[in-house]
A and B are shown apart, each in its own frame.
Chain A
């Protein structure tokens, strides 16, 4: 999508010049957003409109601008962005531009370029031939890389409201425990079904047939409370039914899920009996040990060691799993990435195509994921503790919707809304 901003000034309302300019944009298959409008207080006073003109190609945009300029539309003076070379590996120029997670463009050689893989708190690395701009983490920058500095020649687009009139239509970090959950869960279920259909369309008819804005993947980010609280069966059903396509978690969720498979306990508590079993506190360690012996999660499932549950379903459904370790992990399990930078990279690699993120019963993984997600991805943060969605929003993921409820209840209601009979 190509965009330029024009201003229109004068007696543009009664003369219908504004209407003519807007009609001209639409007739030439462009769209517009009125960014600012000032209407003169008297007939003698001039009015001003600042209009962002959008088109699906630079050529079409140029044609639209040519058509509206004779009617007084003036293209806003824009300047190219400033570039500076990174002084050392892992060091950005001092005045580097720090990204937000909103769609961002830079102006290079008089053309606006989208910044690829937008994510908050990164820098923008530019290549000149061909002209490309992409976010880069501070640690990944190489000496001599061209980095955008300052703020000139950079523009950030406000979040567009999704077309659907559902819970995501007004993406704002509302957190309340005093709101009915059912309508929100119904909207999440509806979106999951749409994404699954879109994914199937992409698989059968090719990528071009699907809706890229809707996305083709649902990301589930979970903490071990999902298992402790009794959400395992519902989550397993969601994975088996093809509703979840990416899993981010830590060592614990996987360990307790497989502990449940081997011992019927989660951190030593019998999931059915609801009470501690003798020596139950050792179960997760014995589980981790056996899976380590298997060599990988995939092998643990394929060898028949782990036969059911979340991880087994993920392996069988080819769900993309990223397990990121933390400082007090037992084991850890094989496939847990203990280098935090490598874990970030693996998470980023799994994000393209994600159209919905469910962050359930985890604080650190939820915030880490929120930091990596573009703002346009609808995000639902579910936690029994209202501080978690609040913290997520405070860390910049303002698009996330908070749902204060128990993880197991959420997953069971969600699965039931999608046809689970458990």
Chain B
């Protein structure tokens, strides 16, 4: 059974601006955000059959809700994020604590080695991809490759709107990939094309990429994605996926959606 780490949005809000989506003036509707988050949890647990591990929210850490950025977890080892922006660095100790308490081997990166967790490291069983240049450093992928003994192909992210790999790149089951090519430089696009067959690639339109269509959670044949992405849903359903659109607009105000709100644990 798929397991995810999540954190209820009790203290979620926009207190600072560290990506082009965030505006402090664009206040979060607290009740609405909590309702949207509960809907996400319900779909994951009831429709997709996933198990959720809930972290305790911490006052003063509004983005702790985005657990995708806690770190990356594989084979019982958690490498904890090193956030580029000081605003999020206090989250690191809470994530590290949670993994320690739950029996994971915890690895901390050097202070200057920025890495923002599963937000910038995704992949298929035999090939992992690492986003760099916006938030994570390419050197972090080298370290992670050694820790996990995995090939990690670094992909350069070229626009600040798609600042994490999981905002524009979503591996699905059966080796299929949902992605938005203009978020990558030409070398990264060529590297993806070389590794993922054209028939396996599902290209998201600009309009739906901007709705965070790629920030989706895939559990076997279930794909949970933000609402307002009908073309993406149609492409997914053509390939036999069951899509679960959810209104997650309160989190998009902060530059996050379904995927950012979850961290796959295995």
Inter-subunit contact A70/B191 (CB<8 Å): no
Q: If the complex has contacts A9-B142, A20-B187, are A15 and B154 also in contact, measured as CB distance less than 8 A? A: yes
Q: With an 8 A cutoff between CB atoms, is A164 at the interface? A: no
Inter-subunit contact A70/B138 (CB<8 Å): yes
Inter-subunit contact B133/A70 (CB<8 Å): yes
Write the B118-141 contact mask toward A (1 if CB under 8 angstroms, else 0): 000000001100001100001101
A72 to B149, CA, bound (A): 19
Q: With an 8 A cutoff between CB atoms, is A17 at the interface? A: yes
Chain B residue numbers with a CB within 8 Å of A72 are: 138-139, 142, 154
Which single member of A10, A14, A19 contacts B195 (CB below 8 Å)? A14
Residue of A nearest to B126 (CB): A43
Q: Give the residues from 16 to 55 in chain A that come closer than 8 angstroms, CB to CB, to chain B.
A: 16-17, 19-20, 43-44, 46
A19 to B185, CA, bound (A): 13
Chain B residue numbers with a CB within 8 Å of A10 are: 138, 141-142, 145, 152, 154
A74 to B141, CA, bound (A): 14
Q: With an 8 A cutoff between CB atoms, is A71 at the interface? A: yes
- For chain A, give the interface size range: 10 to 19
Q: Give the residues from 181 to 203 in chain B that come closer than 8 angstroms, CB to CB, to chain A.
A: 185, 187-188, 190-191, 194-195
- For chain B, give the interface size range: 20 to 34
Q: Give the residues from 130 to 183 in chain B that come closer than 8 angstroms, CB to CB, to chain A.
A: 132-133, 138-139, 141-142, 145-146, 149-156
Which of A17, A43, A71, A74 has most B Cβ within 10 Å?
A17
Chain B residue numbers with a CB within 8 Å of A74 are: 139
Inter-subunit contact A11/B145 (CB<8 Å): yes
A43 to B149, CA, bound (A): 10
Inter-subunit contact A16/B142 (CB<8 Å): no
A365 to B151, CA, bound (A): 60
A236 to B156, CA, bound (A): 66
Q: List 18 A-B contacts (CB under 8 A).
A: A10-B154, A11-B145, A11-B151, A11-B152, A14-B151, A15-B153, A15-B155, A15-B187, A15-B188, A16-B191, A20-B156, A20-B185, A44-B149, A44-B150, A46-B145, A46-B146, A70-B133, A72-B154
Chain B residue numbers with a CB within 8 Å of A19 are: 187
Chain A residue numbers with a CB within 8 Å of B138 are: 10, 17, 70-72
Inter-subunit contact A16/B190 (CB<8 Å): yes
Query: A422 to chain B: closest CB distance in Å?
Result: 63
A416 to B145, CA, bound (A): 66
A232 to B29, CA, bound (A): 102
Inter-subunit contact A46/B195 (CB<8 Å): no
Which of A11, A17, A43, A74 has most B Cβ within 10 Å?
A11
Query: B86 to chain A: closest CB distance in Å?
Result: 20
Query: B53 to chain A: closest CB distance in Å?
Result: 29
A20 to B133, CA, bound (A): 14
Query: A139 to chain B: closest CB distance in Å?
Result: 51
A19 to B150, CA, bound (A): 21
A46 to B142, CA, bound (A): 8
Query: B214 to chain A: closest CB distance in Å?
Result: 20
A14 to B155, CA, bound (A): 11
Residue of B nearest to A42 (CB): B151
Q: If the complex has contacts A44-B151, A70-B133, A71-B138, are A14 and B145 also in contact, measured as CB distance less than 8 A? A: no
Chain A residue numbers with a CB within 8 Å of B149 are: 44
Chain B residue numbers with a CB within 8 Å of A16 are: 187-188, 190-191
Chain A residue numbers with a CB within 8 Å of B139 are: 72, 74
Residue of A nearest to B152 (CB): A11
Write the B40-83 contact mask toward A (1 if CB under 8 angstroms, else 0): 00000000000000000000000000000000000000000000
Write the A221-260 contact mask toward B (1 if CB under 8 angstroms, else 0): 0000000000000000000000000000000000000000
Chain A residue numbers with a CB within 8 Å of B185 are: 20
Query: B93 to chain A: closest CB distance in Å?
Result: 28
Residue of A nearest to B128 (CB): A11
Query: A17 to chain B: closest CB distance in Å?
Result: 6
Chain A residue numbers with a CB within 8 Å of B195 are: 14
Residue of B nearest to A72 (CB): B138
Residue of A nearest to B185 (CB): A20
Inter-subunit contact B154/A14 (CB<8 Å): no
Q: If the complex has contacts A16-B187, A44-B149, A44-B150, are A71 and B156 also in contact, measured as CB distance less than 8 A? A: yes
Chain A residue numbers with a CB within 8 Å of B154 are: 10-11, 15, 17, 71-72
A365 to B74, CA, bound (A): 72
Chain A residue numbers with a CB within 8 Å of B126 are: 43
Query: A217 to chain B: closest CB distance in Å?
Result: 47
Inter-subunit contact A43/B133 (CB<8 Å): no
A68 to B240, CA, bound (A): 43
Which of A11, A15, A44, A71 has most B Cβ within 10 Å?
A15
